[in-house]
Amino acid sequence: MFESRDQILDQLRAGEDGRAEFKEVRFGNRGVVSPNTEEMAGELVAFANAEGGVVFLGVDDSGVVRGIPPARIDAVEHWVLNVATHNCDPPIRPIVRKALLPGDGGDDRRVLMAEVPRGLYVHRTSGGRYYARLGSTKRDLTPPELVRLFQQRGREYVFDEQPVLAAAVDDLNRHRLEAFFGRSPTIPWLDLLRNTRVTYRDEDGEDRPTVAGLLVFGTEPTEFLPSGSIEAACYRGTRLSSDDLIHAERLAGPVSDQIDAGIGFVARFMQTPSGHQPSGDDGALYDLDVVDEAIVNAVAHRDYAISGSKIRLFLFADRLELYSPGKLPNTLTLDDMPYRTFTRNQLLVNFLSRIRSKRTGQVFLESRGEGVRKILREGEAHSGRRPEYALFGDELRLTLWRRSNFNSNNYVS
């Protein structure tokens, strides 16, 4: 693309278009200040999400070559590559070339050309913006366009980042937002929420909570996402029968509350008839740290695009069963689950890795990729029987076995 000097000069005379963007470079005490990092990432992402293109650095909007000082050219090249690597997701690998082109005074000046190929995947900036090149400008992709692009590029549709069109910013809990971001952010609240993908501006210019934003910060997410809750039930026997049902309840609210409530449910209903936790040689029926890990995994990685299907937690006399909606993604199998990782809801996982549990005081997701191994290893150490994963249609079931040396006659009734 623009291989010869004549082709480059012809493009500068013709102006910006679907394959060419001009950027004059300005410097401050610490390096490049214009374009700023997010702006540059946006141009790279826009070309990658379209058919590719070239960013000409050292050229102003009218096509006049302003140039880059010789002492700065290598630093600018390093800056461009750094932006492409760390401010574009997935990273972009532009081909950066240097050229000597005539300036407005007729003298040759140095220019950098960052050639961006058409992306194999869908790219976004570190600020959470999905752009595509349209003519001589970049613009945000609308949700329908984003869906089509994900389908075309062969990468799974990112459901948790999509706006919930029936909800509004007022449906987010301000106290939860302030606890997460602080009470006095350095930028306006709406800009902060958009940049962190808590909200998304729709085609009509209205700010809407994203699925992840609503699940984490919503006052009552299930008002708009009815399937985004946990159905918990405790049974006297070992089978799923209404005759043996002791108690059932729906665990709703923000996902952090759901997780804590799910662990509290298990703790409450694994008590003895006297209302006390088993002690002495019997010990606790379940390792609550393992239960915690299992519920967090279910909430973080379930498929929220499956409507009408909730996480289900069943507590029987001999086991705990946890059902999570969604098939295993891509090539992941039951056998390699302990050794491979895949995050279906990256935005939701990011939030949960920074929010602390009221029960433990620790963040919900402390380590990535170790959850399944911990469940299998520590679950077996506690009960004497290895936990089991199984697939049933569009659901993944985890079975945790009750501690084997506990007398089932003492189970709550």
Phi, psi of 63 (to 5 degrees): 95, 5
What topology does CATH give the domain 230-410? Heat Shock Protein 90 (3.30.565)
What tokens does 386 get? Answer: 């290895």
> What is the full per-residue pLDDT of the chain (413 aa) written as tens digits?
888 999 999 999 999 999 999 999 999 988 999 999 999 999 999 999 999 999 999 999 999 999 999 999 999 999 999 999 999 988 999 999 999 999 988 899 999 999 999 987 899 998 889 999 999 999 999 888 888 888 777 555 578 888 898 999 999 999 999 999 998 888 999 999 999 999 998 767 889 999 999 999 999 999 999 999 999 999 999 999 999 999 999 999 999 999 999 999 999 998 643 344 444 444 689 999 999 999 999 999 998 888 788 999 999 999 999 999 988 876 678 888 888 777 789 899 999 999 999 888 889 987 666 789 999 999 999 999 999 999 988 899 999 999 876 544 444 44
Rounded Cα gap, residues 371 and 352, in angstroms: 14
Q: What is the pLDDT of residue 335?
A: 86
Of 397, 412, 114, nearest to 278 (Cα)? 412
Domain ranges of the chain: 5-141, 159-223, 230-410
Rounded Cα gap, residues 259 and 60, in angstroms: 53
DSSP designation for 385? S
Q: C-alpha distances in angstroms, 147 versus 61, 125, 150, 163, 342?
A: 32, 17, 5, 12, 20
What would the CATH number be for the domain defined by 5-141?
3.30.950.30
Pure H helices in 270-336: 288-301
388-392 and 311-315 as β-strands: parallel, antiparallel, unpaired? unpaired
Spell out the long-range contacts of 78-87 with Cβ–Cβ below 8 A and sequence spacing 24 or more.
79/31, 79/32, 80/40, 80/55, 80/112, 80/114, 83/37, 83/40, 83/41, 83/44, 84/41, 84/44, 84/114, 86/126, 87/37, 87/38, 87/40, 87/41, 87/125, 87/126
